[in-house]
Each structure stands twice: as structure tokens, then as C-alpha cells.
Amino acid sequence: HGIQGALIEGKVERLISAIDEVMALKPLHVTVQPSDPADIPCNVTEQPAQIPIDVDALPDVETATLRVKKKAVPMELPKMSACSGVLVETPVGMSPYSAYPFELHKDMGDPWDCVIVNGQLTAHARGCEKHISGQKICKQCELLSRNTSLLRIVDRMREGIHRNAPFAYHSTAGLINIVREKSSQINSLRLRKLTGTSLRKLNDTRKIVAKAGALDAHKDWIMAIGSGKVER
């Protein structure tokens, strides 16, 4: 009647399984109460009760197989790595401690922090993700690498800055050079002042010596006139 063979096979398997389950059960003893005890034959034995089997209620063999619990497969978590930040290159022969203008952050409030590890200066954005997967630098630090303020600082570190610029823009090395120049100028002015004073004192001494000699000669002349030894 157009019934597929696979469906019939499944029904037959369920029927066989149900029969096996029923046969495994203990027989049920049913006591029959007749209306007249005389009607009970002597050789009648008790028969097990017939339990109807609902074939449609039995689970399919394929469905029962799918209900087997699957083993949990551990998920592989992505490997996390620390954000590398933005490497700030310092001029050749200079230390990052003396080349970078750290005092500028106090006045400008730049949105990044600097770290020096193994002699290398690295800048991290304030919103750095710290740990990322699949990349070396996070998005915030990637944007920081194009920050105009940071790029200008790097240019001034490489090309230098005018000596009359505000002190906050100077690096430690730049401030040390300014102090040395000022000290040299002060020493020159002091030497010039001392030299000028010495020359003035020397000239005054010469004048005093010359005047003292003239006075001595005048005294001798007066003494000679007074003694009458010199003709008038």
C-alpha cells in the first residue's frame, strides 16, 4: 500500500523489543471469581494476563541511538599576548632618560604613558587593552602611533629645539646644555669684571706712585732753598 520498507523494518524491531521486555517480566497471577464454585473445573490453571503493546509509543531505534551523550570536546582559547605599544626611537648615542621631555606631560596632559625597558622607550595609550589575541598592538595604541603631539615630540628629539623655548619642551639633556651655557656666560662676566677692576686698581696705583714721587721732589727742593745751598 505504498509503505516504505524502512518504516516496516523499524516497526518490526520495536515489536520484537517489546515482546522481549514482556517476556522478561514476572507472570501476573489473576484470580477469577466464578459465580458458581461448581462451575470451576478441577484441572484449571491460572494464566498470565495479556498486556496490550502500543507499538507506536515505543521509541525508534535511530532515536534511541542519538540519545547517547556526546563527549565534551574542550574548546581551544585564543592565545593572548601583551600589547607592544608604540616604540619611540631616541637619537643615536642618547639615552631615553635624557632625550624625552617627561615634564611636558604635566603641563599638556598627553593621553599616553611612557615605559622604559631595557633601554627602549615605549608609549602606551591610556585606553590600552593590555592583552590582545592575534595582533602585536591594540587599536588604541595603533591610533596613538599617528598622534600629532607624539610625532612632534619625536621630531624635536631628533632635530633639536630652540634654546628659548619653554623649559617643559626641553629634554633633560637639553636643560643640562642650557645650564652649562649659562654657567659659562656667568663665569665670563665675572672674569671680565674682575679684570676691569684690577686694571683700574693698577692705574690708580701708578697715579699714586707718580704723585708720591712728585711730592718727594718738591720737598727736597723746598729743603734746599731753606738751607741756603741753592741760589735763588
94 neighbors 121 (Cβ within 8 angstroms): no
pLDDT of residue 42: 47
The strand ranges marked E within 118-219 are: 120-125, 131-133
- Torsion sign across C-alpha atoms 203, 205, 208, 213: negative
Tens-digit pLDDT profile for residues 195-226: 767 777 777 787 887 777 777 776 766 766 66
Q: pLDDT tier at 44 (50, 70, 90 boundaries)?
A: very low
Find cell 602606551 and name the residue. 124
What is the distance between the alpha carbons of residues 34 and 23, in angstroms, rounded to a whole number?
A: 28
Please choose, from the candidates 164, 153, 142, the residue with its C-alpha nearest in 3D space to the C-alpha of residue 96.
Answer: 153
| CB-facing half-sphere around the CA of 57: CA atoms within 13 A | 4
> C-alpha cell of 51?
498486556
pLDDT of residue 190: 80
Q: Quickly list H helices, 51-171.
A: 61-66, 96-99, 104-108, 139-144, 148-159
Tens-digit pLDDT profile for residues 67-93: 545 565 566 656 778 888 899 988 888
86 neighbors 124 (Cβ within 8 angstroms): yes
Q: Give the chain's mean pLDDT.
A: 74
Other Cβ atoms closer than 10 A to 100: 23
